[in-house]
């Protein structure tokens, strides 16, 4: 990104979560940065001499809230001039508010909330699947499977979620559904979240109850974050657009659109850090 | 077991769930049967000449409700004279009612219900963790972890489950709890079920709500099974004694104690099958 926040180059590589392998995360970071740098050099009049070790890298990663994961990554003898390391949710928040104070609600595969006001940060959720992440894609998908299995057993009301679930999973019995979902990770269940939202077209009461429960968790998270008086609050992630209409009305009204993507937040973070060192 | 249903010998071996390895299940079955036979021969006046291939084996296994698992096991060239294969829950039901018609509710690591009346059987639940098995040990454990994490985030009322959870997990923060439970199987969560029941001593409202939700699922399962008019209904499994006081009063009154353990049900099953072939 240049000084006017115009994006000059981007790069996408492999997995970057150091909890599942810090060496792979490091390879992915270097590869994606190299790709972004190559593109930036082609698309701008920056001197072709610029290399990774001229660059102060802002890096936002899942898992670095855990001290041992942070320590492992911060010790890295990286090819960059320096690295500034923070969490994925922190850069998402910085991105949403162009590097300024604010709060974010995130619902993608998981859910999390963060406010960042006057150097104080408050984090809610992000506890993972299945023990946390209410209102996330994985949580909606799991609740959809539960509702369908209960309905097939006549232990709960029938639901049209069943119809969409059987289509998505190419299954027609409880046994087939179970054999397709058993032992699957959060990302798999997140792919089933749309079955709940599809069932809304049928005015399905079971689907509506599930959607309301997830949305009410997000509204409550927003309410706790608003107590920290952030200048702006945004709701981001793949599920955000689907959930927004079901949030409490007063929360909906307070949402501001996200200004930049999380990756830009990592650049804002690096700028803050280098500025504060000067 | 002799003709009077006196147990002459027992044997315990390794895992017997063919879903996780049919060869290991076969080894476990042969080993446990050999141990039982050795003990029976020592403790009785049966001719020492009796060998596995003189024996018609009744075998109750998890997973054989799935056709491909059943087919895999029934093709087995076993060392027995013959094998009679059915599900673990079916033999539990036969055991509970001394080989006669009846229904069982099971809550251990998972939950399941079965009625077996006039050669018709009805099965409810048993869908596995985390998508099913409401009211099971794993379900209570997962709900306990969820409640504790929500309380620590101030997203739900405080609960004394937290105190017991931190003791059991030797954890003191949300991060420590998450790192101990992340990715753990149903059996691990089942070990946390007691934290909910412990919190009852403190008249904890959150614990009571979780216990009621699980118990209400079991009551409903009982009600559906009672529609098949079983002569008896029993509630078995590690959680049964804890949950019984929270079942609907009319369901509690209809429960009969289990007469024999599931293993004896496998013997009853083999007897039925050999008798019906004569």
Taking only the tens place, the pLDDT of each residue in B123-136 is: 999 999 999 999 99
Same fold, B1-99+260-278 and B106-257: yes
Of B66, B155, B179, the CB nearest to A66: B179
Tokens of B52: 């596995």
Is pLDDT at B47 greater than 80 in this prediction?
Answer: no
Identify the CATH homologous superfamily for domain B106-257.
ATPase, nucleotide binding domain (3.30.420.40)
At B64-99, the pLDDT tens digits run 988 889 999 999 999 999 999 999 999 999 999 999
Phi, psi of B111 (to 5 degrees): -125, 150
Q: What are the distances in angstroms from CA B45 to CA A65, B56, B264, B271? A: 68, 19, 21, 21
Contacts of A183 (CB under 8 A, 6+ apart): none
Chain A residues within 8 A of B220 when measuring between CB atoms: 155
CATH T-level fold of B1-99+260-278: Nucleotidyltransferase; domain 5 (3.30.420)
pLDDT at A278: 65
User: Cα separation of B229 and B122, whole Å?
Assistant: 11
Chain-chain contact of B130 with A132 (C-beta, under 8 angstroms)? no
Report residue B278's pLDDT band, with 50, 70 and 90 as the boundaries: low
Q: What are the distances in angstroms from CA B165 to CA A65, B168, B184, B203, B241? A: 22, 5, 15, 16, 21
Cross-strand partners of A111: A107
Task: Considering only the C-alpha atoms of chain A, give the largest distance between any 2 of them, rounded to a whole number of Å.
Answer: 69
User: How many beta-carbon pairs below 8 A join chains A and B?
Assistant: 61
pLDDT at A248: 98
pLDDT at A95: 97
ipTM: 0.86
User: Cα separation of B18 and B21, whole Å?
Assistant: 5
Domain range summary for chain A, segments of one domain joined by +: 1-99+260-278, 109-257
pLDDT < 70: residue spans in chain A: 47, 278
- Give the mutation candidate from B105, B123, B131 for the A interface (greatest A CB count, under 10 A): B131
ω before B81 within 30° of 0 (cis)?
A: no
Return contacts of B246-252, CB within 8 angstroms, 24+ apart: B246/B211, B246/B212, B246/B214, B246/B215, B247/B215, B247/B218, B247/B219, B247/B222, B248/B216, B248/B219, B251/B219, B251/B222, B251/B223
pLDDT at A277: 72
- Give the mutation candidate from A70, A129, A132 for the B interface (greatest B CB count, under 10 A): A132
User: Cα separation of B222 and B224, whole Å?
Assistant: 6
pLDDT at B91: 96
Range B218-226 average pLDDT: 98
Chain-chain contact of B149 with A131 (C-beta, under 8 angstroms)? yes
pLDDT at A65: 86
Is pLDDT at B243 greater than 70 in this prediction?
Answer: yes
Chain-chain contact of A131 with B153 (C-beta, under 8 angstroms)? no
pLDDT at A103: 98
Identify the CATH homologous superfamily for domain A109-257.
ATPase, nucleotide binding domain (3.30.420.40)
């Amino acid at each position: 990104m240049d000084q006017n926040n115009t994006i000059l180059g981007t790069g996408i590589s492999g997995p970057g979560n150091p909890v599942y392998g810090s060496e792979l995360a490091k390879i992915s970071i270097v590869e994606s940065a190299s790709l972004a740098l190559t593109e930036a050099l082609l698309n701008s009049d920056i001197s072709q001499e610029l290399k990774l070790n001229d660059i102060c890298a802002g890096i936002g990663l899942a898992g670095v809230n855990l001290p041992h994961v942070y320590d492992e990554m911060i010790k890295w003898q990286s090819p960059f001039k320096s690295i500034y390391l923070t969490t994925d949710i922190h850069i998402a928040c910085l991105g949403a508010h162009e590097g300024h104070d604010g709060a974010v609600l995130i619902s993608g595969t998981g859910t999390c909330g963060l406010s960042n006001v006057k150097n104080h940060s408050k984090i809610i959720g992000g506890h993972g699947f299945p023990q946390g992440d209410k209102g996330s894609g994985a949580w909606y998908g799991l609740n959809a499977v539960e509702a369908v299995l209960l309905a097939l057993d006549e232990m709960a009301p029938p639901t049209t979620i069943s119809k969409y679930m059987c289509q998505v999973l190419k299954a027609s019995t409880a046994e087939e559904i179970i054999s397709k979902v058993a032992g699957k990770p959060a990302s798999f269940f997140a792919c089933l979240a749309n079955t709940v939202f599809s069932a809304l077209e049928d005015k399905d009461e079971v689907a509506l109850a599930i959607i309301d429960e997830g949305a009410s968790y997000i509204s409550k998270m927003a309410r706790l974050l608003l107590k920290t008086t952030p200048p702006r609050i945004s709701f981001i992630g793949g599920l955000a657009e689907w959930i927004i209409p079901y949030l409490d009305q007063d929360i909906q009204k307070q949402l501001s659109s996200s200004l930049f993507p999380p990756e830009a937040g990592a650049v804002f973070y690096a700028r803050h850090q280098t500025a504060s060192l000067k």
